[in-house]
Amino acid sequence: MNILVILFCVLHPYFKQDLNLVDSVYFYKDKINLILKTRKTSDFPLENRDSLLIFKNIMFREIKENKRQKKYYNYVIKRDRFMYLIYLFKKGDYEKIYNILNAENTRGPEEYIIYMLACLKLKKSPEFLLSGKFASSEYYPYILYLNSLFLFIKNEYKAVFENLTDLNYEPLNEDIDFLKALVFFNRFKNPEEMEKYIDTYKENFYTDTLCFLTGSYYYSIKKYRNAENYIRKLAEKEGKFYKFSLEMLIEIESLIGERTIKLLEVYKEKFKEGERFRELVRRSILNLYSRRKFEQVIEIYNNWGEIIKSKIFAAYIGALLRVEKERKAFRVISMEEDRFLKGIGYFKVAENYEIKGSYWNAIKFYNRALKYLEQKSEFSQSIFLKKLLLEVKVGRIPNLKIAYKIFLKKFPGTEKKLQILKEMVSYLLKERKFGEALVYQKQVFEIENKRENFEKLANIAYNIKNKSIVDSLYLNAGDEFKDIAGFYKGLLLYKVEKDPFSALEVFKEIPETESKSEYVEGAKYYVGEIYKSLGKIQESENILIDLIQSEDTISFKSILLLADIFKEKGNLNEMEELLVKISLRWEDEKRGHILFRLAEVKEIKREIEDAKNLYLLSADFLFPSLDSLSLALYRAANLTDLREEKKALLERAKSMARTPLLKKEIEKSLIDLE
C-alpha cells in the first residue's frame, strides 16, 4: 500500500480506518537493510526471520510466551530511538512522542513524520519545517504533502495550493490531484475538479470518497439526477460509504425515481428496522405524497407504516382519498382508537372535499375533526379558521371581517393574531381578491416589520397597479427594504406606465446588498432588457453576461435574452455554445425552453434532423406550458418529410394548443396536408 495512502487514512478527516502504520516497509527499508546486513548483535545472532517479525507487528505486541523475542524487543527500544517512537505510536502514547520530539530537533524525515502524526492524534498544531529542511531526502515530497494535509485541515487552502503547485512526484500524483480537487471544492463550492478526478483515475483509493462528496453536494443543492449518478455507484457495493449512500439513494428515488420500495426492502434486509429505517420510511412517504405518487405511499404504509403511524397517518389517509378509496379511508379512520389520529383523518377528509370544491362537506368534516382534537391547540385553531373561511366562501358568514371577529371570540387569548392575518391574506390571494389582501397585508407588516412581509406587501401593490402604495413604499422604505421597493417602483414604471427611461434611472439607483439579492439581480436584468429595447445591444450584452452563472429564474431569463441577442447579431456559433453549455443545468420546464432555442439554431443552420430531434426533446420538458409544447411539436412537424409522422405531430400539437391563433395556424397545416 502506498505510504501516502496509509498516512492519509490516519490523518485525514474523511477517512476513519484503523490502518496499520508499521505494516508499510516504506518508512523502514533502511532499517531492514541494516539489520539484514549486520546479521549479529552484541547479544545474540540475528536471523532474517527476526527482521520480519519487527516489521509485521509481532515485536510490538505484549508477547508473553517467546522469551527470545522479548529479549530482542527490549534490546531494540533501548538502542534505537526511532523504533522506540514506533513502539510508542503503536501503544497510543502520543503525548510521550510529542514530548520527546518537541524537546529536541527531529533527527530525520522519518521521525518528523511520526511527530506530525502524534500532533494530529493530540489535536495539536505541529511546528512546520523550515523551508528546505530534509529537501534532499527521498521522503521530502511525502513530508511536503503531509504539511499540505495539515494546512487543508486548518482550512488554509491558498497555502495548500502554493505547496502543491510545483510538486510533481509520480508516486504521489493521484494523492496530489485528490487534495487539489478537495481544496478547489472547499474554496469555491464547485465539484468540477472532483468530477475530473473521478473521470481520470476511475477506480482508485480516493474515487469512492469523491463520488460520495460530489453526490452529496449535488443532493444538497437539489440536483438530484446529478447526485444519483454518483451515489448509485456507491449504493451498489458494500464499501465504507454503502450505508450512507443507500440512505441517500432512497431519498433521491423518493424525490425523482420509481425504485423507492425496492431500495427500502434492500435496506431493511441489510440493516433491520432501526431508527434510521423508520426515518427513511417517513421521508419516503412524505416525498412520494408531494409527488402525487399515492399508490406507492399506500404500499409503503401497508408494508411498514404501523411502526411510525403517528407521523404519516395523515399522508396515508390523504393518499387513499386521492385514489378514490374513500370507503377504505373511512373504515381506517373509524377503527382508529387514537383520538388525535382520528381527528387527523377527518381533517384529511375535509381537506379532500375542499380540493374537490365540495365546500359544505368540507365544513362538515372540519367540524367533525375538531371534536377529536385538543380545542386550544394551534392545529385546532388553524382548522377552525379554515372552516370560517369556507363559510365566508359559501355565504354562511357575510364577510371576512365578521369571520375574524368570530375567531377572536372563540379564542380570545390567542397569540396567533399575526398567523391568522397571514392565512387570511393567503386565502384572499387565492380568491384573487387583491384589494382586500392588501389591507390585511398592511396590518401584517405593521405587526411584524420583516423583509418577507414587506416583499409581499410590495408585490400585491404592484399586481393591483396601486401606484400610490408603490410610491409610498419606495419613498419610505428602510435601508433593508430599498432593493425591494426600488425593484417594484422600476417595474411599475416600465411595465405599467410604459416609461423605460424613468424605469432605467430607478433600476440603476438600487443599492447593492451585502448578500445576493434577487431584486438587485432582477433590476440588472431589466436594465439589460431596456438597453436591448433601446438598441443598446452591446451594453445589454455586457450586463446579461454577468447574470447567467446561477440556477435561478433571473439567470434563466438572462440566458434566453442573451441568446436572442446572439441570434439578432448573427452569432449563431456563440448562441449554440451558450445553450449547449447550460442545457443540462435545469431538469424542468426551463430545460425545455433552452432546448427549443437550441433547436432554432440548428434549424437556421439547416441541420434539419438535429433540429427536429431537439424540438421533440424540448417538448418532453414543456408540458407545464401547453402552448410552448404545442409550438415545439408544430416546428418538428414542419421539419419532417414523412407524411404520417407530420400528421401525427400536427394533431398532437393541435390538441395541446391553447392560443386561438396558434391553433388556427396548426389547423391550416393539417388542411394543406390533405
Distance set, CA 216 to CA 220, 256, 279, 460 (Å):
6, 16, 18, 38
* pLDDT 10s digits, 359-375: 999 999 999 999 999 88
How confident is the model at residue 487, as a pLDDT? 94
Residue 246 has pLDDT above 60, yes or no: yes
* pLDDT 10s digits, 479-534: 889 999 999 999 999 999 999 999 999 999 988 776 678 899 999 999 999 999 99
pLDDT-derived band at 211, boundaries 50, 70, 90: very high
Taking the CB of residue 449, how many other CB atoms lie within 10 A of it?
12
Query: Distance between CA 25 and CA 316 in Å, rounded?
Result: 61
Query: Distance between CA 23 and CA 578 in Å, rounded?
Result: 53
Q: Which residues does 152 contact at the CB level (< 8 Å), separation at least 6? A: 12, 160, 179, 182, 183
Distance set, CA 241 to CA 212, 231, 340, 623 (Å):
7, 9, 40, 38
Distance set, CA 48 to CA 24, 544, 623 (Å):
18, 73, 76
Q: Are 191 and 217 in contact (CB under 8 A)?
A: yes
Q: Which three cell numbers stand for residue 48?
A: 532474517
Number of residues assigned to the chain: 674
How confident is the model at residue 105, as a pLDDT? 61
Query: Distance between CA 557 and CA 555 in Å, rounded?
Result: 6
Query: Distance between CA 67 and CA 466 in Å, rounded?
Result: 97
Q: Which residues does 408 contact at the CB level (< 8 Å), separation at least 6? A: 414, 417
How confident is the model at residue 117, as a pLDDT? 78
| Percent share of the chain, pLDDT over 70 | 85
Percentage helix, strand, coil for the chain under 3-state DSSP, each rounded to 5 = 75, 0, 25
Helix axes 482-491, 500-509, angle to 10 degrees: 170
Distance set, CA 43 to CA 63, 302, 671 (Å):
20, 76, 108
**φ, ψ for residue 40 (rounded to 5)?**
-135, 155
* pLDDT 10s digits, 645-661: 999 999 999 998 889 99
Query: Distance between CA 318 and CA 307 in Å, rounded?
Result: 18
Residue 596 has pLDDT above 90, yes or no: yes
Q: Quick one: 112 exposed, middle or buried, by C-beta within 10 A (0-12, 13-18, 19+)? A: buried
* pLDDT 10s digits, 59-79: 444 334 444 555 555 555 555
